[in-house]
Structure 1
């Protein structure tokens, strides 16, 4: 889904709100990489809620938005195997080492002090706007 953001891609100005897509361009369960900042920003639709995160894993600099989006596994002793997945499509996992980050907050359970940057997202009619 992601295309690399090469040097020829125009960068969006920081500190401003930008129309980055329409709601139809990012259906639930998908995302779009937009040219904001040095590494780009992934704009995600998780069940109709839109989130924007930096495309950079703080662990070793991996392209975070190339990773899979899924839920989080927790222990539940009342089910066979003691594990269940909760909060589907609310976490992105780095493709390099599988560190998981919450789309809404940018936090990770692996090393909470290494959270990722999130961006303000607003929907206006059919437009999705991100504040860079």
Structure 2
């Protein structure tokens, strides 16, 4: 990948805590979540399975593997679920959960400076040409 840049996406107060926000940045449509501790996660709004708008699906936790007749819910506020086929992805890594281990969604680091959130790592060439990742 070529050079990258930091792209401002807004004041942190514009992002409600615990809610998925869709932003346009450098030709990318990206889902951004702000957490209670003011940390952020950003993930591409495109499911690698069939191209669904991933971040329009549910966001929260998931059922975890457990013993027969036991139900365990976990990973709260770290999982996004595709609205079309229910594929689940870890917000931090983009890794698919409990399905095809090779299925992954692109994630982007988010930094905060002076109250402004920035996406880090958008390729500058893609930004200039309007390409998606």
Same-fold call, TM cutoff 0.5: yes
Q: Which runs of 5+ in 1 are unaligned?
A: 1-13
More strand by share: 2
Q: Distance in 2 between matches of 1:129 and 1:38?
A: 15
Aligned-pair CA distance for 1:70: 1.1
Q: Any idea what SS the aligned residue of 1:20 has? A: strand
Match of 1:23 in 2: 12
TM-score for both structures, normalised by structure 1: 0.79
Match of 2:128 in 1: none
Q: Distance in 2 between matches of 1:46 and 1:101?
A: 17
Match of 1:46 in 2: 35
Q: Distance in 1 between matches of 2:48 and 2:27?
A: 14
CA RMSD of aligned residues (A): 2.0
Aligned-pair CA distance for 1:27: 2.1
Q: Distance in 1 between matches of 2:76 and 2:18?
A: 9
Q: Any idea what SS the aligned residue of 2:105 has? A: coil
1:122 and 2:111 matched: yes
Structure 1 ranges of 4+ moved more than 4 A: none
